Structure 1
Amino acid sequence: MTPTTAPHSTHISRQFNHEMEAIRTRLLAMGGLVEQQVGNAISALIESDYAVADDVRLNDHRVNQMQIDIDEECTRILARRQPAASDLRLVLAVTRATSDLERIGDEAQKIARHAMQLVEEGAAPRGYAEARHIGYQVRHMLQDALNAFARFDTQLALAVLQEDQAVDMEYRSATRALVTFMMEDPRAISRVLNIMWVLRALERIGDHSNNLAECVIYLVRGTDVRHASFEAIEASLEEPDRRDAT
């Protein structure tokens, strides 16, 4: 199956086809907003821009409302259409994905709040380079996860899972360095802690992007890989596709 081939069935009912495509389109629109929120939050931190950070904080309700609207539409489809097989997987994958996107939005809001505190208290002496680097990595992960969902691309989803491992390593390394710095200069503890909370939020964004990639694999291959190792997932994608054809 090529990456651009939809895994869900084509139906006699054009209305059903429209409904299935509509929930995927709305999910991707939500993803676009969340991606913008993350980018703005990181920029606000790096550039000490209070206004941009406050805008991220105030826009979080838009992400929440999009999740509610998409979940309601998925519920209506389940009640009216009682989809089976690949169609059911699409609905379930969308509901899982909206949950992770909403949580990414929450993490972006946390970054914005800490950016605002740093503007008020004075910039932290350390940690901005790490935040910029990890922020770039997780934004790239989120973009790839959304593109994988748009194209039903399991190989791109697999690349996201691999990148999450690199982000986790970067996060642990940065955290150790900042803890050492605070021990050497206790006067900086309050401000450096804000940066550490930002790094934690970025790491969580990576985790949720990882979950989005797992949703793509579930949708396309019909395999739940949420608790599988990267090696096991990679091996499973090399096996013949045994999805139901209905």
Structure 2
Amino acid sequence: MPDSLHVSSQFDEDLARLRTHVLQMGGLVETQISSAIDAYSTGEVASVKSIIETDRKVNDLEKAIDDDCAHIIAKRQPTASDLRLVLGISKIVTDLERAGDEAKKIAKGVRRIYEAGHMPTQYGVGIRHLAEAALTMVRQALDAFARLDGKLALSVIRADEDVDVEFKSIIRQLITHMMEDPRTITTSIDIISISRAIERIGDHAKNISEQVVFVVEGRDIRHDKEAIK
């Protein structure tokens, strides 16, 4: 095999391995979010420890992927679409790590509520529906990355608006709860924090999708509302 082909083959393997590690990290974050949502509904606060332990694995993967990105740029000096892929990945893993942090916040909030002897599901404010919508965004964003599907990525970005609207509705309901019955204030504040964390997970899925569009099309559509219509 000519040296140039050997180098090219090795480079392709490096990029493929990098993408695999991103999807592995994404799978861990999905598990964190899903487990946190389940804990909210079931009160299985024992899972909080597992969610926190998974967060350490996510953090380790972020560091490893960042190192790999730096190594590839320094050693391979990628250009055009390959460079966009590496740069996009370096930003995607940051959002994945932060989404994992939000899942940890949800889990800790759930633990506080149940350990205080309250049942958050009695508030009937649609947390589960909001969380499922945000989790779907994360799954689809990762799917868009795996397939380098710009159209799917754009649909995820559009879905963020629905999550934001639903989040604001939940906040209004919780404020009403607190005004009508001051005894609900402590739990309501915890549920507001959980809702905010879920909304932020949707934001991170949106950010990941914006990077997928950048990788696929070379367009930076952040802050460009016209680009996602």
Task: Give the TM-score range, shorter chain.
Answer: over 0.9
In the alignment, which residue of structure 1 is the partner of 2:81? 86
Alignment of 1:151-162 (within 5 A): 151-162=147-158
Kindly provide the amino acid, as one letter, of the partner of residue 83 in structure 2. L
Instruction: Tell me by how many angstroms 1:11 deviates.
Output: 8.6
Q: Deviations over 1:115-162 (max 9, x none)?
A: 110111122465455110101100110010000001111111111011
In the alignment, which residue of structure 2 is the partner of 1:178? 174
CA distance in 2, matches of 1:127, 1:36: 25
Instruction: Tell me by how many angstroms 1:59 deviates.
Output: 2.0
Alignment of 1:131-170 (within 5 A): 131-170=127-166
In the alignment, which residue of structure 2 is the partner of 1:22? 17
Q: Residues 96 and 196 from structure 1, CA distance in 2 versus in 1: closer, same or farther, beyond 3 angstroms? A: same
Partner SS, residue 224 of structure 2: coil
CA distance in 2, matches of 1:58, 1:12: 38
Instruction: Tell me by how many angstroms 1:233 deviates.
Output: 2.8
In the alignment, which residue of structure 1 is the partner of 2:189? 193
What count of residue pairs does the alignment treat as equivalent? 224
More helix by share: 2
CA distance in 2, matches of 1:114, 1:70: 30
Question: More displaced, 120-129 or 220-229?
Answer: 120-129
CA distance in 1, matches of 2:55, 2:69: 22
Where structure 1 has 5 or more consecutive residues not aligned to the other structure, the ranges are: 1-9, 235-246
Equivalent position to 2:49, from 54, 60, 72? 54
Where structure 2 has 5 or more consecutive residues not aligned to the other structure, the ranges are: none
CA distance in 1, matches of 2:22, 2:94: 10
Q: What is the TM-score when the length of structure 1 is the normalising length? A: 0.88
Alignment of 1:1-246 (within 5 A): 13-124=8-119, 126-127=122-123, 129-229=125-225, 231-234=226-229
Q: What is the TM-score when the length of structure 2 is the normalising length? A: 0.94
Q: Deviations over 1:177-236 (max 9, x none)?
A: 10011011011100111111000000000000000110110000001111111x3333xx
Q: Residue 28 of structure 2 contacts residue 54 of structure 2 at CA under 8 Å; is this kept in 1?
A: no
Instruction: Tell me by how many angstroms 1:34 deviates.
Output: 0.3
